[in-house]
Amino acid sequence: MPVPMTMERKQAAYTNLRLAAFAICRIRGTPSRGRSTKGQQYSHIYFTRLHHMRNLLHALVPSWKPQVPVTTVLGLEEGKDCIIVGTLYKHMKLKPSILDEYSKERSAIPLVKPHNFMHPDDHLILEDESGRVTLAGAIAPAEYVTGVVLALRGKETSAGNFLVEDVLEAGLPHQTSLSAADEDKYVVFVSGLSVGSATFNPLQFQFLIDHITGHLGDENEQSIASKIARVVVAGNSVHISPRFLNGQMVASKDQSRIAEPIKELDIMLTQLVASLPVDIMPGCHDPANFSLPQQTIDDLYKYSDAKDRLEFMERTLRWRHLAPTAPNSLGCYPYTDKDPFLIDSCPHVYFVGNQDKYETRLFEGPEKQKVRLICIPRFSDSGVAVMLNLRNLECSTLSFSTSFDA
Amino acid sequence: MAAAVDQALLDLLPQIHALFSDPLRVISYKWLSRNFCVSSNDAKRLLQEFVNKHGTDLQVIYSVSGWLKNNPQNYCVKLTSGPNLKVIYGSVFLLTKQEFKDSCSIQIYSVQASIPKDTAVLWNPEFVQAEELFNQPFDKENCLRDNRFCGILNSFVKRTSSGKHVSSLPPKPINSAAAAALSKPSIIPKEQAQQENLPGPSIPKEVIGNKAEKNNSSALVKGSNDSVVKESSTSDHASKNKAQNGKAQPGNGGSLATMWGRASAKPKPPTTTNSTAAASVAATADAQICAKEKADANSSDDEQGVSYKRGSNGANNRKRRAVFDFSDDEEEENVISIASPESPAQLAPNPVAEASEDTKEYQKKLESKQDKPNSVKDCSKRMDSDIFSEHNAKSANTTNHSGITLKEKSTDPPMDDSKKDQTVAPASTSPKRRKVLKTRIDERGREVTEVVWEGEAAAGDKAEKNVGNADAGSRATLPSKPQPASNTDKSKASSKSAAGSKRPAKAGAKQGNIMSFFKKV
């Protein structure tokens, strides 16, 4: 009798590096600085963002253009070569506005919903505390979005625009060295489970769980599964019918129906957590807090252009900002004392969930930073989960099919 | 393949066959694993074996998985139905064109009368099972919550229930009694030491337990201390537990061997019950399942090992089982012994009660285990405890006081209650039998508390118990160990005439219960 092999699951140390990064620092009954949330404006986020980024960019300018003076928008002089630092605003013709909807009968602009809101007439405006100026020249509006902080070298034209000759982005931050595992250990990323949706296939999800937990397959397969040290559930784990989310009172008989997907997810995750650590991240369709934007890359896709989703991710790294379009077109909490989405140090793995397809690339920065970019596909559509090897940051996929071979 | 399947597993084949009397039945390996409390790998082997023998008119679905040829970075898991495969000498081969690189894994997934159009049919029975387990009280340990049947152990997976950290040592982490026992750590070692010193063999029931305890005692002492002192360091526990297991094995060998023998031998009679149980009855089914698990070494291993490790190895499992039992025994024993040796005449009500409860529960578990599966005593403690606790809770509500009658000394009221509750559970499982708690003072002035089953088999039991008591009395420490002893006793008894008489009766009672359940269903 072959003695069944006893496999031990690989363990990986875990430290939460940004425990309080997104904390909303308010204690009930002690309004911060005497102000209440009610009147809180989003200007503080832009202010802190500009302040922080300008310090970074000013430090870079001497090595970038040592001879060129730095000025403000208000201090621009026509024809004089200079550098200005400020926040971009992207004027978009097709960007939906609540006012347009309000007056749609008389609006000349069609209220179509294209895949994004790009238009050839879009242009960029740079602003700082002193003023704002329209940009022209060597800066492509399609690549940028509102909220990005840049340093621009150029000169003011007679028309009052700023003719851009060079663009300086903050670039990838410093990357700490990675204490890579000396053996194969995997982290599995899964996203878009959408339990309760029409596309959710419970058997498929069960396969994933059974594979990870070491039920499925022979010894070879289970030895692979035993190297999975962690699972990250990256958003949109449940799907709740939108008809329950219309602000109306929910009938008691419907309340259980709302809870059903969550309970089912609970049962499934119970099996998973009995085997290894699991992180659950909220998605934009999860019953989670609205305070933190969950669809940052998707929003970039609406307001800018790139050859693939990975390029959007690269840009956010170069801009040093996870969610530049918040709070402009992405909802988030009106932080007053910080911009929590600034990227202080370069990550080693940067993933985005709920994408149409699986993509991955190793992005290398000028200082030899190496970032594994991953687009995690929606599991309910694709049946694909992503397996990241902690030893070398190589990626592979797990795909699960429940249809029979012909 | 066939050779790879334990006899204990093969004994389940008729039950599986009986399950297919329902033409709509879909049996997946995981459902089988949970239902019969075997590891999922064993369940796959078992299912394959079943297909080899009886699968002519059944459709088989296999899971095929491996790295894809055209996309070597993609590990693909998919389903294939029987016609695409060929089974040669128990090994399965893919007939369709190989899209997988190297060797792929082909494992049986499910067996059913016809290939379902909607694959959700494959998943439904499993989910119903999972939901039942999920809906159990939060402090229950079950195979859903600790993944005990999988092929991969995680030493960091501990069983935590209701905020309590369950150390591997205490088999019944959930029990308050165990906690209470832990609360008096200083006493425990002494008792254990005493137990170790005990000669043992003279008493029939307790003898076995004592032996085992003796053998394990050193390990147990360490274990108990560890559990008491540091519950926080799970890794330590795990290692220690392992060590204990290793130690325990040699000592246990004799008693375990007998148990194993029974397990293999006994499973057949319960098969009828099992098959019925297969219908997936929550409470009673679980109990039977536990019994079945006992029968299956592998399954039991998993269960016991669950807290720290889940092993598919039969040997490991067995060891674990033995250890756990001992640990349980120790705790229980400790509690009891504490009461008896230190304060002979006057027992602290709480510890005693708890001890009694523990012992009762333990015995109940053991009995139920023995009764139902008959074969293995080892059935994972936690499983058992869970099941039992469930039973207890249910039974306590419905049928109280049926079980235990106190004789001679009337312990404190709290004890009675606890006892009753616990006793109730066994009563529920086997209505005809009752546990009787006998407390008396021996020649040395120590209080000896024993749990005795009364009922159909009572006569034999009592006789044994009485003898044991006498012996026990002489060896003051015995009372603490009666539970393990009872376990071993039962196993032995089952092997012997007394046990034999008990088992059939119990089995009958259980069957009756199950049948009633099915009727309801």
* Domains defined along chain A, listed by start: 43-168 (2.40.50.430), 182-290+346-399 (3.60.21.50)
Q: Confidence band (pLDDT; 50, 70, 90) for B223?
A: very low
What are the C-alpha distances in Å from B468 to residues A5, A38, B206, B359, B405? 42, 78, 6, 16, 19
Most confident of B173-182, B202-211, B419-428, B450-459: B450-459
Is the confidence at residue B18, as pLDDT, over 80?
Answer: yes
**Amino acid at site A226:** S
pLDDT at position A106 is 55
pLDDT at position B234 is 38
Of A220, A267, A401, the CB nearest to B105: A220
Q: Which of A99-113, B314-328, B349-363 is predicted with the least confidence, judged by mean pLDDT? A: B314-328
Q: What is the pLDDT of residues A216-236, one digit of tens each?
A: 988 889 999 999 999 999 989
Residues 6+ apart with CB under 8 A from B466: none
Interface contacts (A, B; CB < 8 Å): 162
CA A257 to chain centre: 30
pLDDT at position A244 is 80
Is the confidence at residue B137, as pLDDT, over 50?
Answer: yes
Q: Are A233 and A279 in contact (CB under 8 A)?
A: yes
Tokens linked to B463: 């006789």
Burial of A11 (0-12, 13-18, 19+ CB in 10 A): middle
Strands A186-190 vs A228-234: parallel, antiparallel or unpaired: parallel
SS3 A123: strand
Residues 14 through 33 of chain B touching chain A, CB cutoff 8 Å: 29-30, 33
Return the closest-CA partner of residue B301 out of B314, B288, B292.
B314
pLDDT at position B159 is 45
Residues 313 through 352 of chain A touching chain B, CB cutoff 8 Å: none
Return the closest-CA partner of residue B15 out of B332, B359, B272.
B272
Q: State the Cα–Cα distance between residues A300 and B241, nearest whole angstrom.
A: 54
Q: State the Cα–Cα distance between residues A245 and A253, nearest whole angstrom.
A: 15
- Can you list the residues of chain A whose pLDDT is less than 50? 1-3, 27-35, 406
Q: What is the pLDDT of residues B247-283, one digit of tens each?
A: 333 333 334 433 443 433 333 333 333 433 333 333 4
Shortest Cα distance, chain B CAs vs residue A379, angstroms: 14
What is the side-by-side strand order in the sheet with B447-454?
A: B405-408, B434-441, B447-454
Q: Confidence band (pLDDT; 50, 70, 90) for B146?
A: confident
Residue for token digits 């140090």?
A345
Indicate yes or no: CB of B150 within 8 angstroms of CB of A215. yes
Q: State the Cα–Cα distance between residues A209 and A188, nearest whole angstrom.
A: 11
Burial A365-386 (b: 16+ CB within 10 A, else e): beeebebbbbbbbbbbbbbbbb
SS3 B355: helix
Q: State the Cα–Cα distance between residues A347 and A341, nearest whole angstrom.
A: 13
Q: Are B104 and B85 in contact (CB under 8 A)?
A: no
CB of A198 within 8 Å of any CB in chain B? no
- Dihedral angle computed from the Cα positions of residues B388, B394, B396 and B397, in that order, rounded to the nearest 10 degrees: 170
**Amino acid at site B204:** P
Give A71's strand partners. Answer: A84
pLDDT at position A15 is 83
Is the confidence at residue B175, as pLDDT, over 70?
Answer: no
CB of A372 within 8 Å of any CB in chain B? no
Burial of B376 (0-12, 13-18, 19+ CB in 10 A): buried
- State the average pLDDT over residues B402-430: 41
Q: State the Cα–Cα distance between residues B403 and A1, nearest whole angstrom.
A: 43
Shortest Cα distance, chain B CAs vs residue A48, angstroms: 43
Q: State the Cα–Cα distance between residues B369 and B37, nearest whole angstrom.
A: 13
Shortest Cα distance, chain A CAs vs residue B155, angstroms: 7
Length reported for chain A: 406
Of A222, A396, A397, the CB nearest to B151: A222
Return the closest-CA partner of residue B220 out of B157, B156, B170.
B170
**Amino acid at site B334:** N
Q: State the Cα–Cα distance between residues B351 and B448, nearest whole angstrom.
A: 14
Q: State the Cα–Cα distance between residues B507 and B387, nearest whole angstrom.
A: 17
pLDDT at position B514 is 59
Q: Confidence band (pLDDT; 50, 70, 90) for B157?
A: low
Tokens linked to B126: 């499993």
Of B66, B131, B153, the CB nearest to A8: B153
Q: State the Cα–Cα distance between residues B291 and A271, nearest whole angstrom.
A: 23
CB of B115 within 8 Å of any CB in chain A? yes
Burial A196-223 (b: 16+ CB within 10 A, else e): bbeebbbbbbbbbbbbbbbbbbbbebbe
- The percent of residues above 70 in pLDDT, for chain A, comes to 88
Q: Confidence band (pLDDT; 50, 70, 90) for B354?
A: very low
Of A9, A275, A399, the CB nearest to B76: A399
Indicate yes or no: CB of B152 within 8 angstroms of CB of A275. yes
pLDDT at position B249 is 38
CB of A210 within 8 Å of any CB in chain B? yes
Phi, psi at B74, each rounded to 5°? -120, 120
A225 neighbourhood in chain B, CB within 8 Å: 152
Residues 385 through 404 of chain A touching chain B, CB cutoff 8 Å: 387, 395-404
Handedness of CA A313, A318, A322, A323 (dihedral sign): negative
Shortest Cα distance, chain B CAs vs residue A263, angstroms: 9
CB of A13 within 8 Å of any CB in chain B? no
pLDDT at position B374 is 39
Indicate yes or no: CB of A215 within 8 angstroms of CB of B30. yes
Residues 6+ apart with CB under 8 A from A111: A96, A100, A101, A104
Q: State the Cα–Cα distance between residues B293 and B285, nearest whole angstrom.
A: 12
CB atoms within 10 A of CB A266: 13
In the DSSP assignment, the letter for residue A378 is B
Shortest Cα distance, chain A CAs vs residue B150, angstroms: 5
ipTM comes to 0.85
B119 neighbourhood in chain A, CB within 8 Å: 201, 203, 402-404
Q: What is the pLDDT of residues A172-208, one digit of tens each?
A: 999 988 877 788 999 999 999 999 898 899 999 999 9
Strands B74-81 vs A370-377: parallel, antiparallel or unpaired: unpaired
Return the closest-CA partner of residue A152 out of A172, A128, A173, A178.
A128
Q: State the Cα–Cα distance between residues A328 and A148, nearest whole angstrom.
A: 11
CB of A265 within 8 Å of any CB in chain B? no
Indicate yes or no: CB of B144 within 8 angstroms of CB of A401. no
- State the average pLDDT over residues B336-342: 38
Is the confidence at residue B244, as pLDDT, over 50?
Answer: no
Q: How far apart are the first and last CA of chain B?
A: 36
pLDDT at position B57 is 80
pLDDT at position B496 is 41
- Helices and strands per DSSP (H, E), number in chain B: 20, 12
Indicate yes or no: CB of B150 within 8 angstroms of CB of A211. no
pLDDT at position A292 is 82
List the single best residue of A10, A190, A210 to mutate versus B (max B Cβ within 10 A): A210
Tokens linked to B320: 């674990």
CB of B183 within 8 Å of any CB in chain A? no
pLDDT at position B459 is 44
Indicate yes or no: CB of B134 within 8 angstroms of CB of A266. yes
Return the closest-CA partner of residue A118 out of A304, A269, A379.
A304
Q: State the Cα–Cα distance between residues B422 and B419, nearest whole angstrom.
A: 5
**Cis omega (within 30 of 0) for bond into A327:** yes
Length reported for chain B: 521
Phi, psi at A107, each rounded to 5°? -75, 135
Shortest Cα distance, chain A CAs vs residue B55, angstroms: 19
Q: State the Cα–Cα distance between residues B319 and A124, nearest whole angstrom.
A: 72
* Helices B283-295 and B271-278, packing angle to 10 deg: 130
Angle in degrees, CA B473, B377, B239, rounded to 5: 95
B61 neighbourhood in chain A, CB within 8 Å: 404
Q: Confidence band (pLDDT; 50, 70, 90) for B432?
A: low
SS3 B176: helix
pLDDT at position B103 is 76
A177 vs B286, more confident: A177
Burial of B419 (0-12, 13-18, 19+ CB in 10 A): buried
pLDDT at position A178 is 82
**Secondary structure string (H, E, C) spanning B345-368:** CCCCHHHHHHHHHHHHHHHHHHHH
Tokens linked to A356: 């149409």
Q: Confidence band (pLDDT; 50, 70, 90) for B141?
A: confident
Indicate yes or no: CB of A203 within 8 angstroms of CB of B119. yes
pLDDT at position A148 is 95
Q: Are B425 and B361 in contact (CB under 8 A)?
A: yes
Report, in angstroms and rounded to the nearest whole number, the Rg of chain A calculated over CA atoms.
24
